[in-house]
Structure 1
């Protein structure tokens, strides 16, 4: 398909973080863009402010007339859309060109020098750092991101079309539509078992992804993963490694050992060893692309982070409020490590909203272990996303397995009161559902109380 011949792009699920990045991209390339989503959000409001028509009722008659021409319209959808969706089925049954988001991403990037970031954790932060590094090194880059970067206040970095940075998403095997020049794999922990069935099938999909590299392509692998490639790690014997880590006023300062030289006194402002690992592989990929060490060190120090990735909303001597997207036990462990490293001996309250019934069921004991590490826990009901309830899988079941005695199940209506009753120094909101929508309310409530 030649995207140059398409005038109209219609998105079914336009409010998704990856979908909205594509919408912004096509809008910047003078296409007519519109779409549907289930509910209004900050993302849909931002798109509307750019002139994108977004509606929230699943009805063909709500679609603007120019987008109902199959000759001039491409329809893009996300796998999170249910199979009985009225609009999507209309497009499928009436000779429209209908592609998944990942297929469109593959078409856009196939004629670029593509850098792809894969892994069950760390994709968004790593790709955001990488996009920022290349942008600051004056590379003609477009970066499609799964989060809103603080530096650009956007999930799209648009500086040129020669180079692309993409998240290689394992969900629904989406990453098998990509053909990158450089790729990394940050992690391969079991996840999305509702799609894969078992961990071995997920592992095989990562192996299949590594075979998608273009001729003479390079693969970068976190040390210890069962893949062949150039290795990177923290304080170990990898090909590229972080050494001599210090924390100065909340900032990591460290050296990077490369196969050729050691780069000294690099600064990075995001807390947590997991973020240090993400920064390292982004640096490595930018080095291998051809950026200079000096430019990269300066660019990394100026990276401000990604919204909902260890995002500070209150940071005072008496109170800290942090919001994070963590929705897998290993991600919660990483957040816990970061907060304990930055705030040793301080009382920490975690507010967690589980995401998906199937993920809660598949990792129930691991979630219990991760959440038990916090001093105090408030647990919200499971956010269903694309799923129907599974009998017996509830937040009450998860709560019963958590060993922390200072725990309770709360409703969204009672959440602010329960948070304000706590005497914790650090408050964390964690989860990938709509808990992010509560952050402004929590911040306002805590500011009033303090």
Structure 2
């Protein structure tokens, strides 16, 4: 287990670059979002008064309430604490997932409050620090989490804002100083263009968020625009094969940084890292899947370039425990394995499938998938069908709409028809446990970025009772 996460629940340390925002109160619209809640935790530790709105209660909002954050769940200006209605003392932060019709957001905008997107605030916080930014359509959260853990364990004065809950810290914020920041550079809504990193990496550039970009070429252009945000003496790291120049990294190839001599020992990867100058031997990494190994490699590469010695990095990486909902084992026994993962893009599902087949080559696997967004389902229906069809059995939940309205003809039933595997079924959430009980598969997998994560506890309890 890593050292205790510092200063999350108190304000003993004054975080001076947060004070530069100049407001005593910070009000969040969409405070339950994973990125928003990390910022909220940061401002709590900073000594600001924090409150917010979200659509529904969750483990994240409950954890914030435990820190003293006032949260309500109706779009109602009267429910906002009075001190946050003081225009001169309140910064309002919102997520692009909030609809334009939101009455609280419109009130603040029309009454000349200082209103900023989450990404703009993150840009302000990080601009006076040495900033590591992790970009890519897949792998951002795990890579950021690994990098933050490495730097923290190696006693770097730093803060890491994570897009998931770290298993090491049980938080999406690692807080250990103000000189260095580690952030996810989110391509959604072109948010990453508000950052000015010193070191940046790009893990992947697969087509996604086409509701924002229109086509893949616009997404690629946005990533290239992001590279121009790197500070003049900064460094860019890219997965080998991407159409952008930089320090390359890859698995068993001729990249600048390469993972090689890879083997599995006691369920963990052990591997060497070839750098432009030398070879570092015998790193141990506990997460399964070549995609996760690639994420560990780029976190190591950025840390090496920053100047951290290999022995410290090797010791730190061996203690990394992962991110919740990223290939998270819920049950792991001789007769039953239950894994939960956030995968919501076909390439991410392929990566999870590869990891499971590597670890459990002879076992049957039941995949339970909740599609996320009507637009993503429409844009990648054939790819989703191919990815899901690789599993032995498939259960599909209805599409989680998030910020979207339905699209005519796009449904989970439509997607189900495209899956060639005959062992497939459309189920409602309230019938899910009964459907799972019918399987003979030893491996149960839940995947998706919607509210399927809220079902995991129920599924786990039912499986434990049945076994």
Per the normalisation by structure 2, the TM-score is 0.96
Alignment-derived partner of residue 39 in structure 1: 56
How much has 1:265 moved relative to structure 2? 1.0
Matches within 5 A, 1:314-393: 314-393=331-410
Say whether residues 1:169 and 2:186 are aligned partners: yes
Alignment-derived partner of residue 419 in structure 1: 436
How much has 1:194 moved relative to structure 2? 0.3
Distance 1:195 1:24 in 2: 29
Distance 2:204 2:21 in 1: 36
In structure 2, the residue corresponding to 1:306 is in which secondary structure? coil
Distance 2:187 2:450 in 1: 19
How much has 1:345 moved relative to structure 2? 1.1
- Which consecutive unaligned segments of at least 5 residues does structure 1 have? none
In structure 2, the residue corresponding to 1:424 is in which secondary structure? coil
Distance 2:299 2:209 in 1: 25
Alignment-derived partner of residue 7 in structure 2: none
How much has 1:215 moved relative to structure 2? 1.1
How much has 1:5 moved relative to structure 2? 2.1
Distance 2:367 2:267 in 1: 21
Say whether residues 1:3 and 2:13 are aligned partners: no
Distance 2:42 2:292 in 1: 27
RMSD: 0.8
Q: Report how many aligned residue pairs link the two structures.
A: 450
Distance 1:288 1:315 in 2: 37
Matches within 5 A, 1:110-149: 110-149=127-166
Distance 2:391 2:376 in 1: 21
Matches within 5 A, 1:269-348: 269-348=286-365
Distance 1:182 1:4 in 2: 24
How much has 1:326 moved relative to structure 2? 0.1
Say whether residues 1:193 and 2:234 are aligned partners: no
Say whether residues 1:235 and 2:265 are aligned partners: no
How much has 1:319 moved relative to structure 2? 0.6
Q: Deviations over 1:210-243 (max 9, x none)?
A: 0000011000000000001000000000000000
Q: Deviations over 1:147-194 (max 9, x none)?
A: 000000000000000000000000000000000000000000000000
How much has 1:317 moved relative to structure 2? 1.0
Alignment-derived partner of residue 12 in structure 2: none
Q: Deviations over 1:251-302 (max 9, x none)?
A: 0011110111111111000000000000000000111111110000010010
How much has 1:401 moved relative to structure 2? 0.3
How much has 1:3 moved relative to structure 2? 3.3
How much has 1:2 moved relative to structure 2? 6.6
Q: Deviations over 1:340-376 (max 9, x none)?
A: 0000110000000000000000000000000000000
Alignment-derived partner of residue 155 in structure 1: 172
Say whether residues 1:82 and 2:106 are aligned partners: no
Say whether residues 1:208 and 2:234 are aligned partners: no
Q: Deviations over 1:376-415 (max 9, x none)?
A: 0000000000000000000000000000010000000110
Q: Deviations over 1:95-140 (max 9, x none)?
A: 1000000000000000000000000000000000000000000000
Per the normalisation by structure 1, the TM-score is 0.99
Distance 2:357 2:107 in 1: 51
Distance 1:228 1:254 in 2: 26
> Post-superposition, which runs of at least 4 consecutive aligned residues in structure 1 deviate over 3 A?
1-4
Alignment-derived partner of residue 8 in structure 2: none
- Which consecutive unaligned segments of at least 5 residues does structure 2 have? 1-17
